[in-house]
Amino acid sequence: NAGVTQTPKFQVLKTGQSMTLQCAQDMNHEYMSWYRQDPGMGLRLIHYSVGAGITDQGEVPNGYNVSRSTTEDFPLRLLSAAPSQTSVYFCASNARDRTPYEQYFGPGTRLTVT
């Protein structure tokens, strides 16, 4: 199993540009989440999903959209990039039928907005 994969690993955007961060998992996990981590800080939850077709907002959802059309994929869309969105983005997944917080994290996408 590849686990949780994220693309791209690095990205530089100009203010106002849009893009999609990709996340995929091959463990058939029901739950998926997106977090951001600013320098020297802990992770903050952006959006999460408990299954295909179901998404909800986390702690810092503004400026981001998500969709969950399949179990495997959970893309994160930046609508109009701002310098405040410069961060490292982590995607995570976990199985519903186990203790829910044994989350598996991807390697992260490092985004810089200029």
**Which parts of this chain interact with other proteins (CB under 8 A)?**
4, 31-33, 35, 41-45, 48, 50, 58-59, 90, 92, 94, 99-108
17/22 with CB nearer other proteins: 22
Does residue 109 contact residue 96 with C-beta atoms inside 8 Å? Answer: no
CB of 80 to other proteins, least distance (A): 26
- Yes or no: say if 44 and 63 are a contact pair by the CB < 8 Å rule: no
Q: 17 vs 104, which CB is nearer to other proteins?
A: 104
Nearer CB in complex with other proteins: 16/54: 54
SS3 percent helix, strand, coil of the chain, rounded to 5, is: 5, 50, 45
- For the CB of residue 50, give the shortest distance to other proteins in the complex, in Å: 7
Instruction: Yes or no: say if 109 and 19 are a contact pair by the CB < 8 Å rule.
Output: no
